[in-house]
């Protein structure tokens, strides 16, 4: 039972969570896991996704605090960055 507790523990970092998530996805995509193991992998994957989302939200909030009013909408085509350079 302690193995399940260790496997279900919170990852040490965002990167570790992503690596574990990628491993779970690979195992599930191979389609060779028994049903019970697939359900457990799905559940663990769901926990990891939630953990990563929380970590990303924390970092986003930190960036907002650090940047303050300097944040500007991101334009996928880079137009906002080019406009800013023209104004300078």
* The pLDDT of residue 63: 87
How many domains would you assign to the chain? Answer: 1
Tokens representing residue 47 in the block: 């926990």
Domain that holds residue 28: 2-87
* The pLDDT of residue 9: 87
* The pLDDT of residue 73: 72
* The pLDDT of residue 86: 53
What is the DSSP secondary structure assignment for residue 34, as one 8-state letter? Answer: -
Tokens representing residue 43 in the block: 């559940």
In CATH, what number is assigned to the domain containing residue 62? 1.10.287.1040
> Which residues of the chain fall below pLDDT 50?
1-6, 88
The fraction of the chain above a pLDDT of 70, given in percent, is 75
The pTM of the whole model exceeds 0.75: no
CB burial of residue 24 (10 Å; 0-12, 13-18, 19+)? buried
22-28-30-32 Cα dihedral, nearest 10 degrees: 140
Give the list of residues 6+ apart from residue 14 with CB closer than 8 angstroms, or none: 52, 55, 56
d(CA 29, CA 2): 27
């Amino acid at each position: 039972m302690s193995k399940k507790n260790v496997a279900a523990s919170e990852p040490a970092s965002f990167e570790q969570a992503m690596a574990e998530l990628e491993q779970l996805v690979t195992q599930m995509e191979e389609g060779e896991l028994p049903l019970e193991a697939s359900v457990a992998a799905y559940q663990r994957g769901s926990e990891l996704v939630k953990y990563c989302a929380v970590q990303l939200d924390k970092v986003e909030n930190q960036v907002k605090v650090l940047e303050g009013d300097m944040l500007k909408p991101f334009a996928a085509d880079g137009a906002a960055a080019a406009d800013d350079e023209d104004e300078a």
